[in-house]
Structure 1
Amino acid sequence: MSGHDSKYFSTTKKGEIPELKEELNSQYKDKRKDAVKKVIAAMTVGKDVSSLFTDVVNCMQTENLELKKLVYLYLINYAKSQPDLAILAVNTFVKDSQDPNPLIRALAVRTMGCIRVDKITEYLCDPLQRCLKDDDPYVRKTAAICVAKLYDINAELVEDRGFLEALKDLISDNNPMVVANAVAALAEIQDSSVRPVFEITSHTLSKLLTALNECTEWGQVFILDSLSRYKAADAREAENIVERVTPRLQHANCAVVLSAVKIILLQMELITSTDVVRNLCKKMAPPLVTLLSAEPEIQYVALRNINLIVQKRPTILAHEIKVFFCKYNDPIYVKMEKLEIMIKLASDRNIDQVLLEFKEYATEVDVDFVRKAVRAIGRCAIKLERAAERCISVLLELIKIKVNYVVQEAIIVIKDIFRRYPNTYESIIATLCESLDTLDEPEAKASMIWIIGEYAERIDNADELLESFLETFPEEPALVQLQLLTATVKLFLKKPTEGPQQMIQAVLNNATVETDNPDLRDRAYIYWRLLSTDPEAAKDVVLAEKPVISDDSNQLDSSLLDELLANISTLSSVYHKPPESFVSRVKAAPRADDEEFADTAETGYSESPSQGVDGASPSSSVGTSSNVPVKQPAAGSPPAPAAMPDLLGDLMGMDNAIVPVDEPAPSSPPLPILLPSTTGQGLQISAQLTRRDGQIYYDISFENGTQGVLDGFMIQFNKNTFGLAAGEALKVPPLQPGTSARTLLQMVPFQNISPGAPNSLLQVAVKNNQQPVWYFNDKIPLHVFFVEDGKMERASFLEAWKSLPDDHEFTKELPGSVISSIDATVERLAASNVFFIAKRKNGNMDVLYLSAKMPRGIPFLIEITAAVGVPGVKCAVKTPNKEMVPLFFEAMEVLTK
């Protein structure tokens, strides 16, 4: 609506609805048009004008495009609440979809896709089918998006009516915008489908690359993002793709540039020629630099992406460090990101200009930024051995300025430099000691105390310095108390004279009798016993060589970095988290077939009702940087818990419902005991891994058989084959004597992977505030990794079985397993995402065919042979991942027991 239409919003008359009704039925076109505008205005400000539905729909019969748009807008809004009346509009839609004006045909199709009413959906298929083959490209591109909308409403209908095939045909369209919209629609459908819908072949690849040159910027983003899922067959094809994509680096739209960078980085992995790689690195630098001249918000997104890129390929921007120098008017969030990247790009060649910059930043007014700059100098010293001396001299100059928080940060980083280069820069300790009186921050105090204790033999008045801290020992934070305790013990071991002897007595007394901090008390008791029984052993423990610390500027695990790089230009690369940790989508449930189990003589196969799961399942992809579609779970299915704890849920303590063990949750069987109370000094821990709603949880129960309250529970998992780690803090309330608590701890896989042959060992450590750390072992059952979309169609199962070579087939007898009922077994297996496909008879034996899938698409094709009620089951499996077969048989033994 235009500006002068505001008058429609300011009506004060009574009887508004009857008046509008009258105007809508007027014989004059202009009056009807004005009436529809008034209705839309009323609807926009929240008035209920649904009673005018029939009258507004009557106005659809018009040639006036503006009026038609308004009526369609009204329809979209009220069709859901008036489904029976909405059917009245169907005829007009069907008529409009054949209108000679392509704008009206497209408008009809666009609106049909927005009316989410099941009764109407079927009527829209024929018009949509025509529009997908329309002569006008504008209509075809609108129809392509409509298919994705229709899939969201009724996936089965889209497949039955062949719309997916029609979309795939549009990829060969001669209009680039139609191609782009077809790709966007297919990518959207793929994200919510459990089956492969959109696979790029070498044939469609060339079509997409051709369309890339001519479509709009968002069309290019859709095409580039779908191309990033394509893995080139060899180096030559990779070079060809890169060559065709490189011109996109010159584009004015940042999203296009970043999507092009993503493809080039992914294809560079396959390119073997170093000259080609060097050239590509040169070509990628200028567009990335150009992104930094945009407004601050875009700069920030670019910097977060560049942060990932330089961790993988630092050479791309090695010569461009100057563009990351902070400007005085940069917002703080941009400055912080630039600092991070400067540390990553710092090298022996450019360290002098980098240090000059950092020194400049350390005199700025923003305290947080100053601290970060001082830390950055220290991190560069740890990263570059040859530059360490220059970094130290800059830090000393900063200490001489005597700005309190600068001095404190400098001391914190100098402690790390001493750890990195032992016995090299100790000459500066005297200068550091001059600043002792000004220290008031725990971390700085603790660092200074560590330095005094570590180099006590070189500091003449070390005992006096430590004594000045000891006066306030009881009031100090735990961090400082722990360092004071250790430093005093070091001083005593290095100079066992009278002064330190009295000091150690006072400290040990304070740290054991006067404190209620278990960490401090335990450490003090250990030192006390060591010193009183074997001073030499104490020396070996306390004064042992410390491991040298390393550069921490590239903190991301290589597999996580690769996953984030595959998601460049999406939210994933801004958060630096994989998509599934913050986006959950509802996958379309596999289609159900009505046939019951039946022996089919011709093929020996039969289909079962599909064991589809409605639950939300994490997607591996986020939308482009402009638009991140996050679908709500379908009604009736619980949303998948976010992999990162939701802050509000955390505060309200609702993330992990605590279920008392004496009243286990319905159908929760008792958990296996992993730490019996005899071993745990009265604490009993039972636990096992489980899968719910597409997520892995550690179902863990604590039983307090001690005489006191146990609280402060924490848990840690050692590196393991699947990289399982805790995805959140363990939430267990303080346990009163004789009570118990059970909680679900969310787990995240592939975080902390141990090398070597796969095994099912899970090593767990649990601590609380009252007891030592308890270590115990658990088993990782492979079936907790079986994904919800592991069901295969019969034809694709047969095809996959034939395509895998014979040396990928393994068989094992499971003597302890027994199948008492086929139906019950199928149901139990389906609950663990092992899906029934067919069965046949072989003499008196039943042969079941099933499928399961692990993340990253690793399938298991399973054949189980057994006689009902007779112990002993023969299990055969075919899978591309041979290493997992022993763990797979372990899982099947558990599931068929």
Structure 2
Amino acid sequence: MSISSTINQITRNARAAVGQIGGGSDSRFFHNTSKKGETHELREELQSQNKDKKRDAVKKVIANMTVGKDVSMLFTDVVNCIQTANVELKKLVYLYIINYAKSNPDLALLAVNTFCKDANDANPLIRALAVRTMGCIRVDRIVEYLCEPLARALRDDDPYVRKTAAVCVAKLYDISPDMVEDRGFLDVLRDLICDSNPTVVANAVAALSEIQETSGQDVILITGSVLQKLLAALNECTEWGQVYILDALSRYEPADEVEAEGIVERVTPRLQHANSAVVMSAIKVVLGYMELCNPDVVRTLTRKLAPPLVTLLNSEPEIQYVALRNINLIVQKRPAILEHEIKVFFCKYNDPIYVKMEKLEIIIRLASDRNAEQVLLELKEYAQEVDVDFVRRAVRAIGRTAIKLERAAERCINVLLELIQTKVNYVVQEAIIVIKDIFRRYPNRYEQVIAALCENLETLDEPEAKASMIWIIGEYADRIENADELLDSFFLDSFLEETPQVQLQLLTATVKIFLKQPAETQALVQRVLNMATEGTDNPDLRDRGFIYWRLLSHSPQVARAVVLGEKPTIADDTFALEPALLDQLIHQLATLSSIYHKPPEAFVVRMAVPVGHVTGGVGEEYDDDLEYLEGEIGVIGAAKGPSKQAAGSGNGGGTGGEVDLLDLGGVDEAPPATTGGKDGGLDDILGGGGSNGGGTAGSSQANTQVDRPLVCTPEQGGGIGIRAALRQEGGGIFCDMTFQNTGPTPFQVLAIKFNVNTFGITPASPQIAFPAPVPQGGATNYVLPLTFAPSMVASGAPPSLQLQTAVKNMASGHVFYFAIPYDLSVLFAASGQTDRAGFIPAWKAIDDANEVTTLAGSLPPALSSPDAVVSRLGSRHVAFVARRPVPGTTQESLYLSAVTVTTPPVHFLVEITLQAGVASAKLAVKSQSQTLAPMACAAIEGLLRN
């Protein structure tokens, strides 16, 4: 528990504390706490010589404080009551001091002498209370007096004092880390891990764990003797002490298989504990050590882990939900643990909806050919319940099961058709959505159901269902006799009122039908292209319309190859988490990370970020003010409607599927296209007309400055033109920017924020401030430091080498959007070399599906030798590992590696094969990240060419 939450808990328990003094009758002190003139009466009672009257007065003060009334004006009078032998009364006075010391730091010093005196009291409860209170008072001047009493308490003869002092070290570290390290308190805490009292051991581990999380340093040093102490204390300390010890053991790396199996044997009895937190922590330890155990032990542990997990599902719904979120991760890592327990996850009628949803996810993950029939019967029942959201999720689950299990696909199709026959609107629409995915997974196998789908066209009113049905009609137009009539009758009349998702599918489907039936559908495609390019202000739709227009005008064969080309089959998304992230989350079981399914750094911020600096002069530094970040940048997120769409048309070329910038509901990066003239329109759509389909405003200027391209035109920026490019220097990432003012008014301060992106890149400071206003016609340079924030990573989105950016001119209030392109090589770290001995095992460990190859031809003459290639790439942070001649040829292979500076880092292994006397190279790149390997290959090829 954190320090602030501890203080809040103490305050919340004040009512209970008052009630415990003298019995439950003290609840009367909470009545009439708003009586007029009460403060004066309390002051007189606090100054009374009658001990009982003084005690009752302190109870009244605490009661007022608990209900939220400000009684800080009584600080001096309450502190004067601290000189008492009554332990309970002393507790209440200390509680009052903790609550008001920060607002009265000078007066709090009045109690220091009493604290120091109580820290030497004969009663261990008083000694512990004094040290604990001093640790809770977050006042620097009092912290200076805490060190000596704390040092004595850490070596006190009484274990109660020692365990209290151990926690106090963590509180002191949060206030003054340097003081804790200088006074050697960390070493004392490590010594306390070997204490004879198990409670002291648990508190020492808890304190070191919190310090480790705060500092990011490994401060818990577990040796062989310490390990035995922890395992011994595990059987004797409290349940929460066991949780802390188990968490510490989960971070320990056993030396060998024997040690790992020994620890697991000592931990497995905790799997039967009554406290669910202890059970989950024990499971975390066992799962982590299973990697080191032999197969026979792993099989035994697999059988032992299932019963405690099943038992957790018999708890109250809140604990069930937490358990299910953890089980979701466990099943992805080791599905064999619960593969025979799928019935446990079948939903009960009285389960809360959040529990049902989680059970549904786990059912899909545990579905197999053996239990497919049973799962489908259960899902079919769910699809006929009354909760609409649950029914929708159940129908989607049937589709996911079909995609996952090929043998069960036909049975899933039959179940979906039965559900369609129910004519329940939302069920029908969900079924159409999942059938579209099944068609993509198994092309040309189940198209006989299309007729049944077409019977329900009139009932479709949801965008995703409409888009799916339109895709089916366009994709299988050659099998649907009246495909063009279906589109025309049910969708095209409302084309301009449809959502962008439906409009884009209508446009593509119409072009597909035209390419398959050109003679009958020429008028139809001309009508749709006209609406897409002239009747809408959506740049994505308009740009796609112009692309199709030009394709059709240029060459029907090329258009057919592009539009009707073979599509990749969709993959099973049952195990959606990246392996590296999954391993990280498995080590975070029983924490918030396992519930959010995000690493801790994605939602816990423990450090402030640096501010930017201006080139060409000394600029004023601005503090990282959280209120400014939420207030000013938050204003950008409030933009709505057409102005947002117009402002968002930057040189990004982004797609509508990317995550919304600042939660704006969609940012269109592509600039508005100018319709221009049409050479002959579409009267002869295959005759080469219409080549002037639309240009991008300002595109001719975009690359006039290669090192710093134009990313925002003055028209987009309301008079502010921006050039920007990313670079790396000294291990840090910076964005070099040039701002030009073409507007009528100067500007000096801009607010800036990036959208979530592939690597979580974000500005180190939320604002850009220039030393002096930039006048009309003026220009200035700025270096914006960048940092990496896991919370800014666009999980689930396709990777992109663009930073969607929002900027607000603080002088005019104008908000505008643009995208900053960058090359992946700018993120390569200087320390990217892989150990030579480990290169081949690392290469073999990566699946061949993650290998990307290309032929880099026409290399510069300067790269005529392998040494020149190594030198070129080495200067760009692609480190040389080894080289070898290819036997029987005049070729030579170079092996290199690169790693990104991102969090977490991404590693790339590179093989370059050169032919003597030939200005080309074969390039192969492997990475655990299948989506980033092609980007790395393109980046390294670019380094060879430039």
TM over 0.5: yes
Quickly say closer, same or farther: Cα 1:496–1:196, change in 2 above 3 A: closer
Gaps (5+ residues) in structure 1?
A: 588-612, 616-635, 657-670, 707-712, 754-760, 787-811, 818-852, 859-886, 888-897
- 2:709 maps to what in 1? 675
Structure 1 position 4 matched with structure 2 position 39: no
Using the alignment, how far apart are the partners of 2:493 and 2:359 within structure 1?
Answer: 42
Say which of 393, 401, 414 aligns to 2:422.
401
**Cα offsets for 1:516-557 (capped at 9, x unmatched):** 333223323333333333222222222211111111121111
AA in 1 matched with 2:147? C
Say which of 144, 148, 151 aligns to 1:126.
148
Structure 1 position 222 matched with structure 2 position 244: yes
Say which of 548, 552, 570 aligns to 2:591.
570
Q: Secondary structure at the match of 2:725?
A: strand
AA in 2 matched with 1:777? D
**Cα offsets for 1:364-415 (capped at 9, x unmatched):** 1111111111111011101111110000000000011111111111111111
Quickly say closer, same or farther: Cα 1:46–1:715, change in 2 above 3 A: closer
1:620-639 paired onto structure 2 within 5 Å: 638=624
Quickly say closer, same or farther: Cα 1:699–1:371, change in 2 above 3 A: farther
- 2:348 maps to what in 1? 327
Structure 1 position 77 matched with structure 2 position 99: yes
- 1:688 maps to what in 2? 726
Q: CA contact under 8 A between 1:715 and 1:764: conserved in structure 2?
A: no
1:364-375 paired onto structure 2 within 5 Å: 364-375=385-396
Q: CA contact under 8 A between 1:584 and 1:642: conserved in structure 2?
A: no
- 1:308 maps to what in 2? 329
The number of residues matched between the two structures is: 713
Quickly say closer, same or farther: Cα 1:745–1:152, change in 2 above 3 A: closer
Which range moved further: 335-344 or 130-139? 130-139
Structure 1 position 651 matched with structure 2 position 686: no
Say which of 295, 298, 302 aligns to 1:274.
295
Q: CA contact under 8 A between 1:491 and 1:500: conserved in structure 2?
A: yes
Q: Secondary structure at the match of 1:174?
A: coil
Q: CA contact under 8 A between 1:40 and 1:74: conserved in structure 2?
A: yes
Shift of residue 644, structure 1, vs aligned partner: 13
AA in 2 matched with 1:780? V
- 2:128 maps to what in 1? 106
- 1:828 maps to what in 2? none
Q: Secondary structure at the match of 1:172?
A: coil
Q: Secondary structure at the match of 2:823?
A: strand
- 1:264 maps to what in 2? 286
Quickly say closer, same or farther: Cα 1:461–1:77, change in 2 above 3 A: closer
Quickly say closer, same or farther: Cα 1:655–1:348, change in 2 above 3 A: closer
Q: Secondary structure at the match of 1:192?
A: helix
Quickly say closer, same or farther: Cα 1:765–1:131, change in 2 above 3 A: closer
- 1:582 maps to what in 2? 603
Q: Secondary structure at the match of 2:606?
A: strand
- 1:23 maps to what in 2? 45
Structure 1 position 242 matched with structure 2 position 269: no
Using the alignment, how far apart are the partners of 2:754 and 2:81 within structure 1?
Answer: 66
AA in 2 matched with 1:223? I
Using the alignment, how far apart are the partners of 2:594 and 2:60 within structure 1?
Answer: 45
Structure 1 position 192 matched with structure 2 position 238: no
Using the alignment, how far apart are the partners of 1:185 and 1:546 within structure 2?
Answer: 56
Shift of residue 211, structure 1, vs aligned partner: 0.7
Using the alignment, how far apart are the partners of 2:819 and 2:351 within structure 1?
Answer: 47
Shift of residue 454, structure 1, vs aligned partner: 1.5
- 2:890 maps to what in 1? none
AA in 1 matched with 2:369? D
Quickly say closer, same or farther: Cα 1:855–1:203, change in 2 above 3 A: farther
AA in 1 matched with 2:725? A
Using the alignment, how far apart are the partners of 1:331 and 1:57 within structure 2?
Answer: 50
- 2:923 maps to what in 1? none
Using the alignment, how far apart are the partners of 1:299 and 1:324 within structure 2?
Answer: 11
Q: CA contact under 8 A between 2:725 and 2:822: conserved in structure 1?
A: no
- 2:759 maps to what in 1? 724
Structure 1 position 337 matched with structure 2 position 361: no
Using the alignment, how far apart are the partners of 2:759 and 2:35 within structure 1?
Answer: 67
Using the alignment, how far apart are the partners of 1:714 and 1:130 within structure 2?
Answer: 50
Quickly say closer, same or farther: Cα 1:454–1:77, change in 2 above 3 A: closer
- 2:310 maps to what in 1? 289
Using the alignment, how far apart are the partners of 1:637 and 1:238 within structure 2?
Answer: 49
Once the two structures are aligned, what percentage of the paired residues are identical?
Answer: 63
AA in 1 matched with 2:726? Q
Quickly say closer, same or farther: Cα 1:118–1:705, change in 2 above 3 A: closer
Using the alignment, how far apart are the partners of 2:755 and 2:74 within structure 1?
Answer: 63
- 2:431 maps to what in 1? 410
Quickly say closer, same or farther: Cα 1:766–1:62, change in 2 above 3 A: closer
Q: Secondary structure at the match of 1:76?
A: helix
Using the alignment, how far apart are the partners of 1:453 and 1:558 within structure 2?
Answer: 37
Using the alignment, how far apart are the partners of 1:200 and 1:779 within structure 2?
Answer: 39
Q: Secondary structure at the match of 1:348?
A: coil
**Cα offsets for 1:587-622 (capped at 9, x unmatched):** 9xxxxxxxxxxxxxxxxxxxxxxxxx999xxxxxxx
**Cα offsets for 1:210-258 (capped at 9, x unmatched):** 1111111111111111222211222222212222111111111121111
Using the alignment, how far apart are the partners of 2:565 and 2:274 within structure 1?
Answer: 58
AA in 2 matched with 1:399? I
AA in 1 matched with 2:471? W
Using the alignment, how far apart are the partners of 1:248 and 1:173 within structure 2?
Answer: 22
Q: CA contact under 8 A between 2:804 and 2:817: conserved in structure 1?
A: no
- 1:534 maps to what in 2? 555
Q: CA contact under 8 A between 2:119 and 2:127: conserved in structure 1?
A: yes
- 1:173 maps to what in 2? 195
Q: Secondary structure at the match of 1:422?
A: coil
Quickly say closer, same or farther: Cα 1:307–1:235, change in 2 above 3 A: same
Using the alignment, how far apart are the partners of 1:566 and 1:264 within structure 2?
Answer: 10
AA in 1 matched with 2:340? H
Say which of 432, 438, 441 aligns to 1:420.
441
AA in 1 matched with 2:117? K
Using the alignment, how far apart are the partners of 1:12 and 1:772 within structure 2?
Answer: 57
- 1:61 maps to what in 2? 83
Using the alignment, how far apart are the partners of 2:223 and 2:53 within structure 1?
Answer: 56
Quickly say closer, same or farther: Cα 1:400–1:644, change in 2 above 3 A: farther
Quickly say closer, same or farther: Cα 1:673–1:342, change in 2 above 3 A: same
Using the alignment, how far apart are the partners of 1:526 and 1:714 within structure 2?
Answer: 31
Using the alignment, how far apart are the partners of 1:58 and 1:673 within structure 2?
Answer: 70
Quickly say closer, same or farther: Cα 1:488–1:785, change in 2 above 3 A: same
**Cα offsets for 1:116-169 (capped at 9, x unmatched):** 333333333333222222222112111111222222233333333332222111
Shift of residue 717, structure 1, vs aligned partner: 11
Q: CA contact under 8 A between 2:708 and 2:723: conserved in structure 1?
A: yes
AA in 2 matched with 1:208? L
**Cα offsets for 1:490-516 (capped at 9, x unmatched):** 22222333x323322322232233333
Using the alignment, how far apart are the partners of 2:46 and 2:794 within structure 1?
Answer: 67
TM-score (norm 2): 0.67
- 2:826 maps to what in 1? 780
1:474-623 paired onto structure 2 within 5 Å: 474-497=496-519, 499-586=520-607
Say which of 303, 319, 323 aligns to 1:298.
319
AA in 1 matched with 2:724? S
AA in 2 matched with 1:227? L
Using the alignment, how far apart are the partners of 1:559 and 1:69 within structure 2?
Answer: 49
Using the alignment, how far apart are the partners of 1:53 and 1:153 within structure 2?
Answer: 23
Quickly say closer, same or farther: Cα 1:715–1:109, change in 2 above 3 A: closer
Q: CA contact under 8 A between 2:76 and 2:107: conserved in structure 1?
A: yes
Q: Secondary structure at the match of 1:585?
A: coil
Using the alignment, how far apart are the partners of 2:523 and 2:474 within structure 1?
Answer: 16
Which range moved further: 12-21 or 446-455? 12-21
Using the alignment, how far apart are the partners of 2:821 and 2:137 within structure 1?
Answer: 58
Structure 1 position 201 matched with structure 2 position 227: no
Q: CA contact under 8 A between 1:343 and 1:376: conserved in structure 2?
A: yes
Q: Secondary structure at the match of 1:584?
A: coil
TM-score (norm 1): 0.71
